[in-house]
A and B are shown apart, each in its own frame.
Chain A
Amino acid sequence: MHGAANSSGMGARSSSDIAIDLCDLRKTVTVGFRRRHVDILRGVDLSVRKGDVFGLIGPNGAGKTTTIKVALGLMRPTSGVVSLGVCGLGEVGYLPENPYFYDYLSGREFLVFCGRLFGLGPEQRRARADDLLDGVGLKASASVHLRKYSKGMLQRIGIAQALINDPRLLLLDEPMTGLDPIGRLEVKRLIQRLHSEGRTVLFNSHVLADVGELCTRIAIMKAGRIAWAGTVDEALALSPQGLEAFFMHVVESEA
């Protein structure tokens, strides 16, 4: 197994090829009354190429969500460099983990609101909202208040709002949580479609089967670092028993 030497998992690339580049990212937070220092990220090096479907996997507490938040600017890194190969947040779509949205808005109102945040015109945002509602199968519930949405519906409206601006880069934190098998299938199909459209998708997941099915490249995070990164085929080559076994091996072997 490879450690830091191969943690970026690739050779030299021109910068226009890179969608996300994280360089030695560190994040320390102070917790609790005694201001205890906790290192969440301990030097993350990650490169996501444009057009990749990139799976970020790891045990709980490894720092996956934090990595995404730092990439987005929701958190500031203690040190390290973040570069996004897009023009700015205007071309990024984000689905947070366990999303919560404004109770008192209907599905359509919420999407129109998001469209407005991106500066879309009135006609445009209404059209996009209706298209997306249709696309995620929420057309019937478009006028229902979000307060009444089930978890699965919230997840789907979450994906819709991540797509409202037609983003080139999508960051999805546990996109399959709370979905029934049909929902999960739809999300998988969606991710495949996005990939075929040339967009870059990075997502966290616990479900290794999905990761194996969808991703072009994966990275395994452990204790605030990238323990391994490479293509799914590379991983399977190293561990013929399957992705799960490979994952367990990486996670348990690193010091």
Chain B
Amino acid sequence: MSQVVAITLNTFRETIRDRVLTVIVLFALVMIVGGLWLGSISLEQQGRMMKDFGLVSVTAFGVVVAAFIAATLVRKEVEKRTVFVLFSKPVSRGAFIVGKFLGLAATLAVVIGGMGAFLFVMTLLVGGGASGMLLAATALIYLQVLVLTAVVVFFSTITSAILSSMLGLGVFVAGQLSHNVLSLSRIGADVATEAVSWVVFVVIPNFNSVDVKAAAVGEKAVDWAEIALWGGYLVAYMVVALGAAALVMRRKEF
């Protein structure tokens, strides 16, 4: 347990340093300029525009940070051979994976939390009716980004950093289209296509089960039960991805 904590803190320290603050500042600037400009061209719909595009920005930034930093987390340790220091001590491969993941998760909490808080304040300032739903939407975006992180960490145990990032982004897009795969599986011409589609549907993370952005701008009613269920699914998916990564690490040699 203390190994997981040690690696988590270490990874947090490693990832929080330079990139994060730049991302937050960049996001803040984009939000300020964008929000003010949008207000002027939207016929006083600043509140809605700020919330909607703000959440899209949080998602985009979160996905980019997750895809690119998660891909190097494991790789860097192997390439720089700091893994020797770790695995010559009583540190399990699983503890290593979980610790790296949690460390980045902590950094992402700071990044996404920071962006979400800033978005909340900006929405308040333009009189857009910032509500708890906005914060809930941010929290759900955070969970999705964590799932993506776990997937990218898994990829990074089997392939290069660049490829892991690209695959991660691909999975994110695929996850947005998850429902399409389901329809495919149901209109399948034969059992084989249906079965394959169904497998693909289960394997790809479902990133659009609940439309949180629509709920945040008041387009849809909030179903907390659905959200809770989806949240649970996302956590379970994370566990599976990390478990797979840990299994791969166990087979690895250094």
Q: Residues of A at under 8 Å CB distance from B?
A: 69, 72-76, 88-90, 92, 94, 96, 98-102, 104-105, 113-114, 116-119, 161, 165, 171
6 A-B pairs with least C-beta separation: A116-B6, A94-B88, A96-B84, A89-B90, A75-B253, A74-B254
A102 near B89 with CB under 8 A, answer no
Q: Which residues of A contact B7 (CB under 8 A)?
A: 117
Q: Contact partner of A116 among B5, B14, B254, CB < 8 A? A: B5
Q: Contact partner of B3 among A73, A100, A116, A161, CB < 8 A? A: A116
A117 near B253 with CB under 8 A, answer no
Tell me the bound Cα distance from A243 to B158 in angstroms: 46
- Residue among A73, A90, A104 with most chain B CB within 10 A: A104
Q: Which residues of B contact A113 (CB under 8 A)?
A: 6, 9-10
Q: Which residues of A contact B90 (CB under 8 A)?
A: 88-90, 117-118
| Interface residue SS majority, chain B | helix
Known: A88-B90, A99-B85, A102-B82; 6 extra A-B contacts, CB below 8 A, are A72-B87, A75-B253, A100-B80, A113-B9, A114-B85, A116-B3
A104 near B87 with CB under 8 A, answer no
Task: Judge if B19 is at the interface, Cβ distance under 8 Å.
Answer: no
Task: Judge if B86 is at the interface, Cβ distance under 8 Å.
Answer: yes
Q: Which residues of B contact A98 (CB under 8 A)?
A: 81
- With an 8 Å Cβ cutoff, the count of chain B residues facing the other chain is 23
B3 near A96 with CB under 8 A, answer no
A119 near B87 with CB under 8 A, answer no
Given contacts A94-B84, A113-B10, contact A118 B89 (CB under 8 A): yes
Q: Contact partner of B89 among A76, A99, A114, A171, CB < 8 A? A: A114
Shortest distance between the CB of A95 and any CB in chain B (Å): 9
- A29 to B, closest residue via Cβ: B253
- A109 to B, closest residue via Cβ: B13
Tell me the bound Cα distance from A73 to B87 in angstroms: 8
Shortest distance between the CB of B74 and any CB in chain A (Å): 14
Q: List 29 A-B contacts (CB under 8 A).
A: A69-B254, A73-B87, A74-B84, A74-B88, A76-B253, A88-B90, A89-B88, A89-B89, A90-B89, A90-B90, A94-B84, A94-B85, A94-B88, A94-B89, A96-B88, A102-B10, A102-B14, A104-B13, A104-B14, A104-B17, A105-B13, A113-B6, A114-B89, A116-B2, A116-B6, A117-B3, A117-B89, A117-B91, A165-B89
